[in-house]
Amino acid sequence: MRLAVRNVFGRRPGDTPVRGQVQASGLELERHKPYDEGDELRYLDWNAYARLDQMLVRQFRAEREAPVHVFVDGSASMASPPQDRKFEFAIGLALSLAYVAVRHHNPVRIVCLQRRSEGEHDAAAGDYGASPLIRFPALVQRLADFCARVAPHGDTVLESGIQAYAQSHAVPGLAVVISDFLIEQGAARSLLHGLLGRGYEVAALRPIGAAERDPSRVFQRARVRDVETGREKFVRLSPANLALYQQAVGEHLGQLERDCADNASLFSTCDIEAGLEHCVFGQLPRVGLLH
């Protein structure tokens, strides 16, 4: 499988081929051209000369890197409801996409977006933690080690975390944002605008599990606490209340999809109950992120 990166980014040589564009050296032959005075002799095709008695110069397919930046929401809401294991699913998805990227020579980094505690780093570093940038499949374990040290906590800092990261890393690429997007209305649209304005292609992935879709699987009457703000409220899941909740969830997912469509970005809900394999081999190819 490949990540469907529509454009190329940066100017340094890499291993992402660009059809129709040629360069003097590379891994994949694009075409031959007649030898002209000044062409480097080392690119002459001596086999063609022996067969055809013509001096032909090999030209290779142009190659550019397409960096992949996988942003994972590390806020406390990604651990709620605990039955869904939303954050664990998001990490598995991030590592899966990272592996696909480096298998096709695209450098990749995983970025965890979460509020940094005082003293954890200097305030200018921003609300994120970043793994090393890797370019080879043998180094994927470094990404796994980074993810193993992360636990969800604090309030959601998607926009400020991504903004701080983008200011510190000048080369754009494909940005995959994995989050529950439980943020203020309009914030997702602003986040997309910010990434697109910096030259990124964007895909937004929204993991959702059975308990989040239908909380009656977990409780009927309970005092519910917001894990990010600490506010509490007594909730009784009558049929009418449950219907209102499920309507709100549907509107939330629909608004995310519309925001992405309006900003030429990919969007997919990721069904946690169906499993990671179903997401990678079924849902993501359907929306065009993988092929």
Give the phi and the psi of residue 12 in degrees, each rounded to 5.
-80, 150
**How many Å separate Cα 172 from the centre of its chain?**
12
pTM: 0.82
Q: Quote the DSSP letter at residue 91.
A: H
Together in a domain, 125 and 50? no
Same domain, 60 and 166: no
- Taken in order 281, 260, 159, 135, the sign of the CA dihedral is positive
List, for residues 138-170, the tens digit of each pLDDT value.
Answer: 999 999 999 999 999 999 999 999 999 998 887
Question: Is residue 56 assigned to a domain?
Answer: yes
Q: What's residue 29's pLDDT?
A: 65
**Is residue 30 pLDDT above 80, yes or no?**
no
Over residues 260-288, the mean pLDDT reads 96
Q: How far is CA 31 from CA 51, 103, 202, in A?
A: 17, 25, 33
Three-point CA angle 261, 267, 268, nearest 5°: 145
80 and 38, same domain (yes or no): no
CB proximity list for 125: less than 8 A, separation 6 or greater: 116, 164, 168
Q: Are residues 51 and 167 in the same domain?
A: no
Judge whether 39 lies within some domain: yes
Q: Could you tell me the residue range of the domain that residue 198 belongs to? A: 68-287
Tally of domains in the chain: 2
Residue 8 lies in a domain: no
Query: Are 121 and 99 members of one domain?
Result: yes
**For residue 123, what are the contacts with CB-CB under 8 A and spacing of at least 6?**
none
Q: What is the CATH number of the domain that holds 105?
A: 3.40.50.410
Which distant-in-sequence residues (6+ apart) come within 8 Å of 42 by Cβ? none
pLDDT of residue 276: 97
Query: Has residue 81 been placed in a domain?
Result: yes
Percent of the chain with pLDDT over 70: 86
Of 64, 82, 101, which residue sits at a domain end? 64
Q: Is 141 helix (H, G, I), strand (E, B) or coil?
A: helix
- 101 belongs to a structural domain: yes
Q: Is the dihedral of CA 23, 25, 27, 33 positive or negative?
A: positive
Note whether 34 and 128 are same-domain residues. no
Confidence at residue 247, expressed as pLDDT on a 0 to 100 scale? 97
Residue 41, C-beta contacts closer than 8 angstroms, at least 6 positions apart: none
74 with 165: CB under 8 angstroms? no
What's the average model confidence in pLDDT over 188-194?
94
Token pair for 75: 């806020």
For residue 251, is it within any domain?
yes
Same domain, 189 and 72: yes
The widest CA-to-CA distance across the chain, in whole angstroms, is 87
pLDDT digits (tens, 9 = 90+) for 41-94: 888 888 888 888 889 888 776 556 689 999 999 999 999 999 999 999 999 999
**Do 161 and 59 sit in the same domain of this protein?**
no
Question: Is there a domain that residue 94 lies in?
Answer: yes
Burial of 36 (0-12, 13-18, 19+ CB in 10 A): exposed
Same-domain status, 59 and 156: no
pLDDT in tens, 109-132: 999 999 876 555 444 457 999 999
